[in-house]
Chains A and B, each alone.
Chain A
Amino acid sequence: MRSRDLGGFWAGLLVAGVVLWSLITTDVELSRLLSAGPRIADFLGRMFPPDPTIMDEIWKGSAETLRIAILGTLGAVFFSVPLGILASETMVSAAVHRPVRTVLAFIRAIPLILVAMLMVGAVGLGPLPGIIAVAFHATGMLAKFYAEAIDGVSRAPIAALESAGAGPLLRLRYAIWPQMAPVVARDTIFRFELNLRESLILGIVGAGGIGFYIQTYVRSFQYDKAASVTIAVVIMVIAIEGINVALRRRFA
């Protein structure tokens, strides 16, 4: 009991220390903090009413975001199939799947927006860096999911095909794939939803899509237009969510 109380005390002290450190070292003057409220209110005020005249830009931006998500997901599937096989216990030895899994974990650890910035630097502005970034980032997760799908199937039919003289690729095709197909479909749709959500903001770093307009309008103080784009983004997220719920029910 006593040592537990003491643990609570130390944890409290640690939290207090961390908060104090952040407050003291963050360069925020009290006056600015106090005026932040009214400023935000003013900012929000200037967003209203949202400007409805930019429907063309919204459609163009949304369509590009959709294209980035579709092509990015396609790229991720393309790389995740071989990498998923190489990351599965069932298909390859530990000497192969361990390092591959480590690489995938590293890929997952790099935030998408960072990859997008690097890609803009590498290949220039536009949707291409966005597509590459989404494909790269999503592969980290999708290849892991595919590997888990392979390892999650029932073993007995695999042994049966092995007994009949079928090699590893034939076992993958005829014993593993039929079992894992619904899981792959579900995981891919799930990842597509994430890709769509995440690519909404890619334009902010110049990697294409609707985010580009948010950035442009905020920079040029056209807050009413920025508000329209924001509303469009929110509607898209809700729509994606709804479609995904419906699809997931289908694959449950």
Chain B
Amino acid sequence: MMQDAIHIDDLSFGHHGAEQRAIDQISLNIAAGDCVALLGPSGAGKTTLLTLLDGRLRDWQGRVSVLGTPFEPTRALPLAKRADTGFIFQEFALVERSTVMRNVLNGRLGRMPSWRALLGNVSKSDMDIARSTLSDCGIADLADRRVDSLSGGQRQRVAIARCLAQEPKLIFADEPVSNLDPSRAADILTLLTSAAQARGATTVFSSHQPELARRFADRIIGMRNGRIVFDVATRDLTDDATAALYDDTDPASGARLKVVS
């Protein structure tokens, strides 16, 4: 039996100064090696949940443990423990004035001794990993280009390459294809999920496109108002449940919907 990559028990969190909780009493386990999609309307709490699981939020309630490490509710995750979880950001979060190669090497900063990284001294093995992830992502020829000269699709590939170069055991991808046209979106998700599978990494990605979630995920979690509305194996997801997730007129929204007959 495989160990859970993520273990969440009765988790709640409110952003500083916000009236409503962004995460409201969530409990959930994700098995190692799974590919899970997170669906939900804007403001559902997808980004907040992924950020929290990435170890970057504090002052939450409940119990969380990721890759066997229990998180402390009052503190952000120590830097030394962060390298094992990779994060792909909604708006890429690349350093625009740096080259593609430099951005991908930035993904390795947590894996290098700090003093060497500060001196800009890149070891051959770090360089090899960066090169091979660039070619895995199909952007080997862009290595020396500055990011601010790239298209949206190219940037997304750089963002994925940076995450993969980190060699994470767990990948969080926050709307990795929201800025792309449908065929590019499918290409990018193919790249991401197959790279994750090849590396044996667990993947959680959020999306606004139920079709893509169905196509790429083994399991789909629907969120709304900080709560889990449904949590099903992909083949068990009904069209009604997806429709209800985004339906503003549904009085039962926010409450648990019955999705499996």
A and B are interacting partners: yes
Identify which of B54, B86, B89, B93 gathers the most chain A CB atoms within 10 Å of its CB: B93
What's the dominant secondary structure at chain A's contact region?
helix
Establish whether residues B97 and A165, one from each chain, have CB atoms under 8 Å apart when the complex forms. no
Given contacts A156-B91, A178-B98, A179-B96, contact A163 B106 (CB under 8 A): no
Establish whether residues A163 and B54, one from each chain, have CB atoms under 8 Å apart when the complex forms. yes
Establish whether residues B114 and A167, one from each chain, have CB atoms under 8 Å apart when the complex forms. yes
Interface stretch, picked from B23-31, B76-84, B130-138, is B76-84
Establish whether residues A164 and B97, one from each chain, have CB atoms under 8 Å apart when the complex forms. no
A160 CB within 8 Å of chain B: yes
B58 CB within 8 Å of chain A: no
**Assembly CA distance A65 to B82 (angstroms):** 52
Nearest CB in chain A: distance from B169 CB, A: 13
Nearest CB in chain B: distance from A162 CB, A: 7
* Partner of B95 from A157, A165, A169 at Cβ < 8 Å: A157
Binary contact readout B48-92 vs A (1 if CB under 8 angstroms, 0 otherwise): 000000101000000000000000000000011111011101011
In the complex formed, the residue of B with least CB distance to A153 is B95
**Assembly CA distance A179 to B93 (angstroms):** 12
B12 CB within 8 Å of chain A: no
In the complex formed, the residue of B with least CB distance to A168 is B79
Establish whether residues B95 and A174, one from each chain, have CB atoms under 8 Å apart when the complex forms. yes
Establish whether residues A166 and B80, one from each chain, have CB atoms under 8 Å apart when the complex forms. no
Nearest CB in chain A: distance from B91 CB, A: 6
B102 CB within 8 Å of chain A: yes
Enumerate chain B residues within 8 angstroms of A162, measured Cβ to Cβ: 56, 79, 82
Enumerate chain B residues within 8 angstroms of A157, measured Cβ to Cβ: 93-96
Total A-B Cβ pairs within 8 A: 81
B117 CB within 8 Å of chain A: yes
Within 8 A of B (CB), among A161-201: 161-167, 169-170, 173-175, 178-179, 181-182
Given contacts A157-B93, A157-B94, A164-B166, contact A174 B82 (CB under 8 A): no
Establish whether residues A175 and B118, one from each chain, have CB atoms under 8 Å apart when the complex forms. no
Enumerate chain A residues within 8 angstroms of B102, measured Cβ to Cβ: 174, 178
Given contacts A160-B162, A165-B83, A170-B118, contact A175 B56 (CB under 8 A): no
Enumerate chain A residues within 8 angstroms of B208, measured Cβ to Cβ: none
Nearest CB in chain A: distance from B92 CB, A: 8
In the complex formed, the residue of B with least CB distance to A180 is B97
In the complex formed, the residue of B with least CB distance to A165 is B110
A63 CB within 8 Å of chain B: no
* Partner of B87 from A160, A169, A179 at Cβ < 8 Å: A160
Enumerate chain B residues within 8 angstroms of A167, measured Cβ to Cβ: 79, 114
Please give the number of chain A residues whose Cβ is less than 8 angstroms from any Cβ of chain B in the complex.
21
**Assembly CA distance A167 to B110 (angstroms):** 8
Enumerate chain B residues within 8 angstroms of A159, measured Cβ to Cβ: 56, 89, 93
**Assembly CA distance A144 to B91 (angstroms):** 30
Enumerate chain A residues within 8 angstroms of B95, measured Cβ to Cβ: 157, 174-175, 178-179
* Partner of A164 from B92, B98, B110, B120 at Cβ < 8 Å: B110
Establish whether residues B87 and A166, one from each chain, have CB atoms under 8 Å apart when the complex forms. no
B111 CB within 8 Å of chain A: yes
**Assembly CA distance A154 to B91 (angstroms):** 12
Establish whether residues A169 and B114, one from each chain, have CB atoms under 8 Å apart when the complex forms. yes
In the complex formed, the residue of B with least CB distance to A156 is B93
B8 CB within 8 Å of chain A: no
Establish whether residues B93 and A165, one from each chain, have CB atoms under 8 Å apart when the complex forms. no
In the complex formed, the residue of A with least CB distance to B97 is A178
B107 CB within 8 Å of chain A: yes
* Partner of A163 from B56, B91, B108, B117 at Cβ < 8 Å: B56
Enumerate chain A residues within 8 angstroms of B111, measured Cβ to Cβ: 165
**Assembly CA distance A161 to B108 (angstroms):** 9
B109 CB within 8 Å of chain A: yes
**Assembly CA distance A173 to B116 (angstroms):** 12
6 additional A-B pairs beyond A156-B91, A163-B86, beta carbons within 8 Å, are: A156-B92, A157-B93, A162-B79, A164-B109, A164-B166, A178-B95
Which residues of B come within 8 Å of A, CB atoms? Answer: 54, 56, 79-83, 85-87, 89, 91-98, 102, 106-111, 114, 117-118, 120, 162, 166
A sample of 14 inter-chain contacts (CB < 8 A) reads A160-B89, A160-B106, A161-B106, A161-B109, A163-B54, A164-B82, A165-B109, A165-B166, A166-B106, A170-B109, A170-B118, A174-B95, A174-B98, A178-B95
